[in-house]
Amino acid sequence: MKKLAYLVSILLIFTSCKNESKLPTENVQQHKAKQAFSIIIHGGAGTILKENMSAEKEAAYKATLEEAIKVGYNILKHGGSSLDAVQKTINVMEDSPLFNAGKGAVFTNAGTNEHDASIMDGKTLNAGASAGTTTVKNPINLARAIMDNSPHVMLSGNGANTFAKEQGLQMVTPDYFYTEKRHKSLEKIKESEKLELDHDDKTAFFYDEDIKNSKFGTVGCAALDKNGNLAAGTSTGGMTNKRWGRIGDSPIIGAGTYANNNTCAISCTGWGEYFIRAMVAHDISALMEYKHLSLQEAAKEVIQNKLSNLGGTGGIIAVDKNGNMVAEFNTAGMYRATMNDKGELLIDIYKN
């Protein structure tokens, strides 16, 4: 009997190992020599399956990821700061309707678009974040302005819109953020919500299977510059059908974004409530700082164990102080790309 239990447990361990994400070995750039600089980006994680993706769609995503990361790469190559690289790279993805950030932001329950963003400087631990803005074209620029030009870390709603205007940032009318694809997603989720309520399941609100299975599409970037400075940033429209002024992890320093020159720079994407509860970004940095784990080990621990055990889904991209880059996620896919100081580019979407 004991022997049988032993065999079953060995089998269980074997199966769970087999199910683990193999990504770190395939989409991680580990270097023997310290990288002079490097950059990694994501365009969201979720149920992104090859069988549901047309060749054109895949090509469009890859082209925008490449365009975006090359902007940051060129800044770093010419001695620019990781902060500038992160901001300008994210701008490209914010201007694309493909991603859930800036132009392509998802819709709230009220049919509006409310943006969250944050940026962090690993050298000074300075940070800027904005939540629930509606008229700022590039929310990551607002996060940067809050960090550089205000005495605060986080501004929200109308006040944040006003600060952006005062800073001379590009403002738009809310209809700029209308995209048919995102509007259809809202209608679909509202329809299924109605069906659930009709079936008297009053608890099955809105973060149900539709949300779980949707591609989240937030964007983020982490970079190391030639001066050894790390920076990270994240920008998002949040989650489709959000209401009551819901704010996710993306603008929360330590949850969705973190950077520290002693450890790493991280941007997260996924089901924000879980990333806040698990303090994902800071936890990874803390495991490196206090327990001396490598970036890869720390990221795996937090995503595959802590986040997964809570029931959260999503992933992170990160770069450490030596320029090693890691993408770790527990979803079927994550839009992502890396470039090292030799200009080698890796772009991937699915789990390897």
Report the amino acid identity of residue 281: A
Which residue, 287, 236, 213, is CA-closest to 117? Answer: 236
Which residue, 246, 215, 235, 213, is CA-closest to 58? Answer: 215
Residue entry with tokens 């678009």? 113
Out of 91, 241, 267, 269, point to the residue binding ligand ASP (CB under 6 A).
269
Out of 94, 114, 210, 249, point to the residue binding ligand ASP (CB under 6 A).
249
Report the amino acid identity of residue 265: A
Question: Cβ–Cβ contacts within 10 Å for residue 193, how many?
Answer: 17
| Cα angle, residue 88 at apex, residues 295 and 85 outer, rounded to 5° | 40
Residue entry with tokens 């996924």? 270
Strands 154-156 and 219-224: unpaired
Asked if 331 touches ligand ASP (CB under 6 A), the answer is no
- Residue 171 corresponds to which tokens in the numbers above? 């403002």
Is 219 strand, coil or helix?
A: strand
Stretch of 47-55, 265-273, 298-306, 336-344 contacting ligand ASP, by CB under 6 A: 265-273
Asked if 239 touches ligand ASP (CB under 6 A), the answer is yes
Task: State the Cα–Cα distance between residues 275 and 252, nearest whole angstrom.
Answer: 10
Q: Which of 218, 236, 257, 338 is catalytic?
A: 218
Beta bridge partners of 117: 130, 235
Asked if 250 touches ligand ASP (CB under 6 A), the answer is yes
Least spacing, CB of residue 338 vs ligand ASP, in Å: 19
Residue closer to ligand ASP by CB (options 223, 307) is 307
Asked if 241 touches ligand ASP (CB under 6 A), the answer is no
Residue closer to ligand ASP by CB (options 75, 160) is 160
Out of 216, 258, 329, 335, point to the residue binding ligand ASP (CB under 6 A).
216
Asked if 272 touches ligand ASP (CB under 6 A), the answer is yes
Stretch of 29-37, 242-250, 258-266, 289-297 contacting ligand ASP, by CB under 6 A: 242-250
Asked if 236 touches ligand ASP (CB under 6 A), the answer is yes
Residue entry with tokens 């409310």? 114
User: Per the annotation, does 270 bind a ligand?
Assistant: yes
Residue closer to ligand ASP by CB (options 136, 293) is 136
Active-site annotation holds for 218: yes
User: Per the annotation, does 272 bind a ligand?
Assistant: yes
**Longest Cα separation, the chain:** 74
Going by the annotation, the residues of the binding site for substrate are 246-249, 269-272
Residues that bind ligand ASP (CB under 6 A): 44, 100, 216-218, 236, 238-239, 248-250, 269-270, 272
